[in-house]
Amino acid sequence: MEHAGFTIWFTGLSGAGKSTIARLVEKELRQRGMKVEVLDGDVVRTHLSKGLGFSKEDRDTNIRRIGWVCEVLSRNGVVAIGAAISPYRAIRDEIRARIPNFIEVYVQAPIDVLAERDVKGLYKKALAGEIANFTGVSDPYEPPLNPEVVCYSDGRETPEESAAKVVAKLEEMGLVPLPSAVPG
């Protein structure tokens, strides 16, 4: 099935659930016959952005690289899903300006909830001053001003409910076929 490409950009603090929700959206879109690729921030750092640190400049470079790949994929009829903290609004806006049909999804959860469920203990270390430049604690995170979708991963919504919310928005925008329109 041919379809127009577009980009879904998940942003939010570390551990908010971006990758989990992105994978659920990916699964649903694949079931509808769409070509989908997920660019997970952690995976991209291992391959495409290996060697970059966590300075503002390196973070911007990392996000611009993910954005460029999303742009290329979208231009070629693929649904590109970016799931990365992407803390700086200006870089997200820069990417949005380059990609037609850019859908920003803000996965929102407060730091106390994230620290409580953080199995690696990174938030506790960051809050204790043991980790420098930790986004949302000792380094800024600029939430989106007008995201197309806000998912609440603090317990108000399950990941499945959040994913359904994203897919419903894509249907509303005419980017995704309704389930009844999917052959099969």
**63-71 contacts: CB < 8 A, separation 24 or more?**
63/88, 63/91, 63/92, 63/95, 64/91, 64/94, 64/95, 66/39, 66/41, 67/91, 67/94, 67/95, 67/98, 67/99, 69/39, 70/7, 70/9, 70/39, 70/95, 70/99, 71/7, 71/95, 71/98, 71/99
> CATH assignment of 6-174?
3.40.50.300
Active site amino acids: 86
How confident is the prediction for the chain on average, in pLDDT?
90
User: Letter for the amino acid at 85?
Assistant: I
Res 169 pLDDT > 70? yes
Q: Specify the pLDDT at position 181.
A: 56
Specify the pTM.
0.92
Res 46 pLDDT > 80? no
Q: Specify the pLDDT at position 177.
A: 81
Segment 148-169 shows an average pLDDT of 97
Rounded to 10°, the helix 89-98/56-75 angle is 20
CA distance 21 to 155: 14
Res 183 pLDDT > 60? no
Domain map of the chain by residue range? 6-174
Ranking 37-41, 56-60, 70-74 by mean pLDDT, the lowest is 56-60
Q: Specify the pLDDT at position 66.
A: 93
CB 44 within 8 A of CB 62: yes
Q: How many percent of the chain have pLDDT more than 70?
A: 94
Per residue in 96-123, pLDDT tens? 999 999 999 999 999 999 999 888 888 9
CB 127 within 8 A of CB 115: yes
Q: Specify the pLDDT at position 142.
A: 95
**Locus of tokens 């990758």:** 19
Res 30 pLDDT > 70? yes
